[in-house]
Amino acid sequence: MSQARSLLKIAPAVYLPALLYGIGQGAIAPVVALSATHLGASVAVAGLVVAAAGLGQVIGDIPAGALTNRIGERSAMLAATVLVSLALAACLVVPNVWGLAIAIGCTGLAGAVWGLARQAYLSEAVPIELRARALSTLGGVQRIGSFIGPFLGAGAMKFLGTDGAYWVHLVAALLACGVLLSLPDIEGRPRGSRPVAAQSTWVVIRDHFPVLRTLGVGALLVGAVRASRQVVIPLWALHIGLDPQTTSIIFGLSGAVDMLLFYPAGSVMDRLGRKWVAVPSMFVLGLAHLLLPLTHTAVTLTLVALLMGIGNGLGAGVIMTLGADASPPVGRAQFLGAFRLFADTGNGAGPLLLAGATALLGLGPAIVIMAGTGWAAATAMHRWIPPHPRTEQAA
């Protein structure tokens, strides 16, 4: 009961900002490419502008760990909200495409700091028996926010045009910043103290490289197949001749199923172990990719999309939890920065792998290759996830 109270004590100050941040990210996601085209970008250049956010996140992972270690988790999250607010203000006023690309890249940098700092905070603040539930809930809340965001952005755009979506994100970021001021200190750490590590970032990475080259590679594969899911559903829907409205409904249903599973997934991880979620999640995602080229109607595509949502939802929070389990007490944020770099690289590489395979082999065979990637991720998770951590074990 005391452990549950410890989670409830920090829940509003941790999860409400995550919800707000997710709403903001969801609000601008559909309009970045449109904003770029309004500034004169071609379709290809608009795609590069959208990709700038992911590139910024990859670039920011290692520095985010060093910054969080230096100034602390709460200060890092506050700094991230300030940076994303400035970047969003720039999105509203930049006069050209490359200015927009830089601003969007800065939102990715801010996302790297934000995501790492809140993961590091929960990894220390929550008892290990509740860690997976806490981190899965964090991931789930973020997904709920991303689901709500486009609807709020659409409402704002009725009055403000495409700028309305950026205003939604800006207001949400400022509200998140205000809530973060009430975030309680980690028990046993004096207010204002800094969790300074005795080692540099590169020494922490070197000392834990055996984990990064095994479990980290598994996280990369997981990120790749998860990112592929967001691309293959609309591409295959287009391939079989479905209209955009039907595709959006199918994608939304898949996302709704995904959102429902984050807490059960965390509970299973806490009670039975991380493998019981990570391996089935990747197996189901791989199976759904394998079945996707066999669909030829809206009904069959919907069924496979729901299966993808189940597979993705089963894995809610698993990468954050594995990173927290593997992280050392000293240099935790620095290690998490390196570990997140693998997962974020996978998120970026998945769509690129799919695009390259499609250009060479066609869409159907490319989706089958991503199915193999999902099963490779399941194999890696089964091979490299360590035994279920217990209270008496070091984190």
Q: What is the DSSP letter of 186?
A: P
Distance in angstroms (rounded) separating the CA atoms of residues 64 and 240 = 42
pTM across the whole model? 0.84
Task: Locate 70 and state its tokens.
Answer: 């230096």
Instruction: Tell me the torsion sign for CA atoms 97, 101, 102, 103.
Output: positive
Q: Which runs of consecutive H residues, i.e. helices, occur in 292-362?
A: 298-314, 318-326, 332-361
DSSP 25-84: HHHHTTTHHHHHHHTT--HHHHHHHHHHHHHHHHHHHHHHHHHHHHH-HHHHHHHHHHHH
Output the pLDDT for position 91.
92
Distances (CA, A) of 194 to 25, 123, 231, 384: 29, 16, 41, 32
**CATH T-level fold of 201-390:** Growth Hormone; Chain: A; (1.20.1250)
Instruction: Tell me the torsion sign for CA atoms 230, 58, 343, 153.
Output: negative
The low-confidence residues of the chain, meaning pLDDT below 50, are 1, 190-192, 391-395
Q: What number of other Cβ atoms are within 10 A of residue 269's Cβ?
A: 27
Distances (CA, A) of 255 to 137, 251, 352: 16, 6, 22
Query: Could you tell me where in the chain the CATH 1.20.1250.20 domains are found?
Result: 11-182, 201-390
**Burial class (CB within 10 angstroms; exposed 0-12, middle 13-18, buried 19+) of 235:** middle
Exposure letters 56-91 (e unless 16+ CB within 10 A, then b)? bbbbbbbebbbbbbebbbbbbbbbbbebbbbbbebb
Distance in angstroms (rounded) separating the CA atoms of residues 161 and 62 = 36
* Tens-digit pLDDT profile for residues 155-168: 888 888 888 989 99
Task: Locate 295 and state its tokens.
Answer: 């669909």
**Burial class (CB within 10 angstroms; exposed 0-12, middle 13-18, buried 19+) of 48:** middle
Output the pLDDT for position 362.
87
Output the pLDDT for position 188.
52
* Tens-digit pLDDT profile for residues 328-341: 888 888 999 999 99
Distance in angstroms (rounded) separating the CA atoms of residues 348 and 338 = 16
**Burial class (CB within 10 angstroms; exposed 0-12, middle 13-18, buried 19+) of 259:** middle
Q: Please tell me the CATH superfamily of domain 11-182, with its number.
A: MFS general substrate transporter like domains (1.20.1250.20)
* Tens-digit pLDDT profile for residues 185-236: 665 554 445 555 556 778 888 888 999 999 999 999 999 999 888 788 888 8
Element holding 194 (H helix, E strand)? none
